[in-house]
Structure 1
């Protein structure tokens, strides 16, 4: 026989929480205090030792996934996540996780049931990355259940392999074409800022004149407008991007005393749909295949990498929280690997002398 003793407080309620004969018992204390929970635990243990049932004293607290997810959203998600992240998690819970796991108690969710979930969503044609995003929400919810005393362990949750996606970016010639179209000056200016700063669309929409520092030639990225809400930049990190002389000159010509840099006639923020339409019209007039605003961000990063800008600097300019995100562009700079290996042939390098066939090649050439 094994027995351990514990009481714990879970969201303002005291519980007797212990193991007896390798089985866990958790019961809410009738008296909501530590002392009351300890007394209640002693009573439960005495009942178990004498072989009596404890079912009439208190019922096991087991909530369904649906019930717990509602509290988790109100308590954790609303408190810790930005508005756009809240909307994303709410959609994932409502449309995907609750329909599948909703009737299960948390401890009934197993690795097997999670694999069934993955298979059922794959059958609908969902992209592996989409399914992984849903699994990330499930994993975070279940970790919260452990922290709140609802679960002891969580099942293994394995993400799907995601095939590498092709990054679409503009060539220098295409950039020149876009920047050379002055038909709609407003959208041309916004495209130039996007190409020269790599800012996300939401960051462009939230850019204010107070963020443009002409004295230091910097654009400070301090906020974004996502789904109509003003919020912090992604990963909650502000950053400063140096302005090239041409960008500095463009913004100086556009400058206003205050307010949004890009706005509608009534001063309200530009909507993503309006921005998309403006960019696509520009592409159509210049004969360039349609590209989204994030494609301009890819272009900014790709052009920097191809011009041998260190990856760490590109990461800082893009505001990536991890260098792993930035390394998606590493294949655009194969010359850096050649340069790295070439140092072995320098006089003071590791080998110090030529080991190749340079003389043979000269003879063959002659």
Structure 2
């Protein structure tokens, strides 16, 4: 809203049109009554949540690996909070919204809360707000008791469809399963990061901010050798589109593959690309690799993260207890009363 007081032009940003009309009429009335504003008068800028979000996304893009996640979360948050004054948003209103989203899992709600908190934290740093209401919202308890991983039969079905539908992307699938590399990490790998003679990929930037070395299986080496046949002059990246350009995400082909896979096996309906990382780590544990080594191979900062993957299949546990029975028989033990 633009108006003049004592020959000086003033501008105020008002959220709703009705509020702007009311304030404009008041300013005109004050001017007719010759009511002067104090010399120290400063117009208080109205800051909407959308204003905070715009600034915060600039920060997120520059400093956060999870920027794409913030953008995705914001797409749900803006329609609800976008046109509300930032100062009027409370932890109760945030909590009420999260409670209303009964269609979402606790982990997703926690990510919404995290994005809200980041937005308000940036608003405080920029001097637009003084409090961060999202920090007072309680985190949901996430159910991590079951980690989904692929069986070898499920892997074979998905691989068969990839071979039939998009053969060029078989190495992408293999690398995901044979290294456990995160999606964002995999699609940022450049050929200067790959050392086939040492069976290693060196990642300088990972999700947790530290560098790590990925050790390659024989299958992973073979997959990268296939990728090397498709090197492109357009980009130094390893994983490419069919046009030889850098691939930011496998969604363009993976969604089509999974649609066909689910049609053949409804049990695959919960499979996402991140399941391949779960599969890699679970298979390491099921093959008897010690937990500390699995932690290093997975790139986990804490051992507690690795322990979440130690939920093994019933078949594997049966084999373990069968070994106990075999040992008893070998030692001449007798279980009869």
Tell me the equivalent position of 2:195.
213
CA–CA separation in structure 2 for the residues paired with 1:129 and 1:250: 33
Matched, 1:273 2:259: no
Taking the TM superposition and a 5 Å limit, the aligned residue runs for 1:213-292 are 213-221=195-203, 233-252=206-225, 255-256=228-229, 258-259=231-232, 260-270=237-247, 272-276=250-254, 279-280=257-258, 290=268, 291-292=271-272
CA–CA separation in structure 1 for the residues paired with 2:243 and 2:214: 28
Tell me the equivalent position of 1:89.
70
CA–CA separation in structure 2 for the residues paired with 1:93 and 1:65: 14
Taking the TM superposition and a 5 Å limit, the aligned residue runs for 1:1-366 are 57-59=40-42, 61=44, 63-66=46-49, 68-70=51-53, 72-73=55-56, 76-82=59-65, 85=67, 87-93=68-74, 95-97=76-78, 99-100=80-81, 102-106=83-87, 108-122=88-102, 125-155=103-133, 156-164=136-144, 166-175=146-155, 183-184=163-164, 185-221=167-203, 233-252=206-225, 255-256=228-229, 258-259=231-232, 260-270=237-247, 272-276=250-254, 279-280=257-258, 290=268, 291-332=271-312, 365=336
The TM-score, its normalising length taken from structure 1, stands at 0.59
Of 236-245 and 91-100, more deviation after overlay is shown by 91-100
Pair 1:310–1:66, CA change in 2 (3 A): same
Does the Cα contact within 8 Å between 1:209 and 1:257 map onto a contact in 2? Answer: no
CA–CA separation in structure 1 for the residues paired with 2:142 and 2:177: 28
Offset, 1:90: 4.2
CA–CA separation in structure 1 for the residues paired with 2:295 and 2:194: 21
Of 203-212 and 273-282, more deviation after overlay is shown by 273-282
Equivalent position SS for 1:330: coil
Does the Cα contact within 8 Å between 1:237 and 1:319 map onto a contact in 2? Answer: no
Does the Cα contact within 8 Å between 1:169 and 1:296 map onto a contact in 2? Answer: yes
| Alignment root-mean-square deviation, CA | 4.2
Q: Which runs of 5+ in 1 are unaligned?
A: 1-53, 223-231, 339-360
Equivalent position SS for 1:114: helix
Question: Higher strand share goes to which structure?
Answer: 1
Query: CA-to-partner distance for each residue in 1:142-191, whole Å, 9 max, x for gaps?
Result: 33344445555444221233334743212245546766899555343333
Offset, 1:78: 4.2
Offset, 1:202: 3.8
Does the Cα contact within 8 Å between 1:181 and 1:286 map onto a contact in 2? Answer: no
Alignment: residue pair count: 276
Offset, 1:243: 1.7
Equivalent position SS for 1:170: coil
Offset, 1:317: 2.4
Query: CA-to-partner distance for each residue in 1:329-362, whole Å, 9 max, x for gaps?
Result: 1233998xx9xxxxxxxxxxxxxxxxxxxxxx95
Offset, 1:197: 0.8
Pair 1:273–1:182, CA change in 2 (3 A): closer
CA–CA separation in structure 2 for the residues paired with 1:182 and 1:140: 39
CA–CA separation in structure 2 for the residues paired with 1:69 and 1:128: 25
Q: Which runs of 5+ in 2 are unaligned?
A: 1-36, 321-332
Does the Cα contact within 8 Å between 1:97 and 1:134 map onto a contact in 2? Answer: no
CA–CA separation in structure 1 for the residues paired with 2:110 and 2:64: 19
Pair 1:243–1:158, CA change in 2 (3 A): same
